[in-house]
Amino acid sequence: MPEANHKPTINDVARVAGVSKKTVSRVINRSPLLKPETRTKVEDVIASLGYRPNMQARALAMGRNFLLGLLHDNPNAQTVLNFQFGVLDAIRDTEFALVVRPVDRRSPRMLDDIRSFLEVQRLYGVLILPPISENDDLANLCREMGCGYVRMGSAQLDDDEHLVQSNDRECVENVIDHLVEQGHRRIAIIQGPEGFRSAQERWEGFSAAMHRHGLDVPADAIARGNYRFDSGIAAAEKLLEGSFRPTAIFASNDEMAAGAFHMARSRGIDVPSELSIVGFDDSPIAAHIWPPMTTVGWPIREMAKAAALKLIDPSEAEAKQSIFPARLVRRSSVAPPQRD
């Protein structure tokens, strides 16, 4: 009889069920070669004893932990948190847990740090957020260390097994189409930082759509930011001071768009009657500033869930989509341009 004051182990279950512990192990691991009646018998004992497999022992025996890692260097808190929620959606009611690991893209030791982290924690797999998801050396490191990984990106960074993807380029094209429909011809862009794939994709979507509509994109219509609020202010200032005189600005993310709002207001320019602004991300600030901002929303939580599923249940996941379409969220920061 098992000790009343100890947590039951696999041995207790085996003894009570009258089988070997290997059989119990097979039940735990869903081995297909078990007689159904044996399985149910063991399952009953497990339930009646309240047995829970010890994760630490499993981790030791199998050489890997039941932990998913989240590697990120993303400046947007809401993005990171939504991603965490999505992963949690996927691992709910499993034995997995999520460990987070912010990293510093600019540190020369970043890869060594991550290697050390993976060595020590022996993660089941890692999820990698942009922008470091674009780093191929990091992906190779994961491969080399036998650690599963899924990257999240705005382009075809890897094969389907290792990627969930958004369609930034197409979405920005839709943004421009929307602006043109409203009558805008002089549309400026605030680009994201150099070296960010998402920034490049958004720029290419902008550029392609403008070209398709036969619209000019002179140097005066382009300003570069770094995805942060302050850089949006500076970029908008440059745009508003140049000779291009845009009637609409597309900012490559919401923070910079909010900076553009800020600059417009501080110059007494009304949004949207005198200037239309569109952002990207549909982060909370887009809905909270005045006027509420038209932007592009992408299903980050669903993407995160899909990414986690690819790691913990590849067979389930492979049938699912790997590209997740974003959509235009129309609010009140776009209006037809004033005639001039």
Task: Give the footprint of a second copy on residues 51-70 (CB under 8 A).
Answer: 52, 54-57, 59-60, 63, 65, 67
Angstrom distance (rounded) from CA 182 to CA 291? 18
When asked if residue 78 is in the footprint of DNA (CB under 7 A), the reply is no
Task: Give the footprint of DNA on residues 3-42 (CB under 7 A).
Answer: 6-7, 9-11, 18-23, 25-26, 28-29, 33-35, 38-39
Question: Using CB under 8 A, which of 149, 229, 244, 298 touches a second copy?
Answer: 229
Q: Phi and psi dihedrals of 278, rounded to 5?
A: -125, 140
Nearer to DNA, 25 or 84 (CB): 25
When asked if residue 123 is in the footprint of DNA (CB under 7 A), the reply is no
Nearer to a second copy, 99 or 323 (CB): 99
Question: Using CB under 8 A, which of 18, 40, 48, 102 touches a second copy?
Answer: 102
List all residues 6 or more positions away from 175 whose beta carbon is below 8 Å from its beta carbon: 205, 206, 209, 250, 278, 280, 296, 328
Question: Using CB under 8 A, which of 77, 112, 137, 325 touches a second copy?
Answer: 77
List all residues 6 or more positions away from 190 whose beta carbon is below 8 Å from its beta carbon: 223, 224, 225, 232, 235, 236, 239, 249, 250, 251, 252, 256, 257, 260
- Where b means 16+ CB within 10 Å and e means fewer, 241-269 reads ebebebbbbbbbbbbbbbbbbbbbeeeee
- Specify the stretch interacting with a second copy by CB under 8 A; choose among 136-144, 155-163, 182-190, 254-262: 254-262
Question: Using CB under 8 A, which of 20, 156, 290, 316 touches a second copy?
Answer: 290
Structural tokens at position 78: 């809401």
Task: Give me the 156-185 binding string for DNA, x by CB under 7 A, dash otherwise.
Answer: ------------------------------
List all residues 6 or more positions away from 82 whose beta carbon is below 8 Å from its beta carbon: 300, 301, 304
Binding residues for DNA, rule: CB under 7 A, are: 6-7, 9-11, 18-23, 25-26, 28-29, 33-35, 38-39, 51-54, 57-58, 60-63
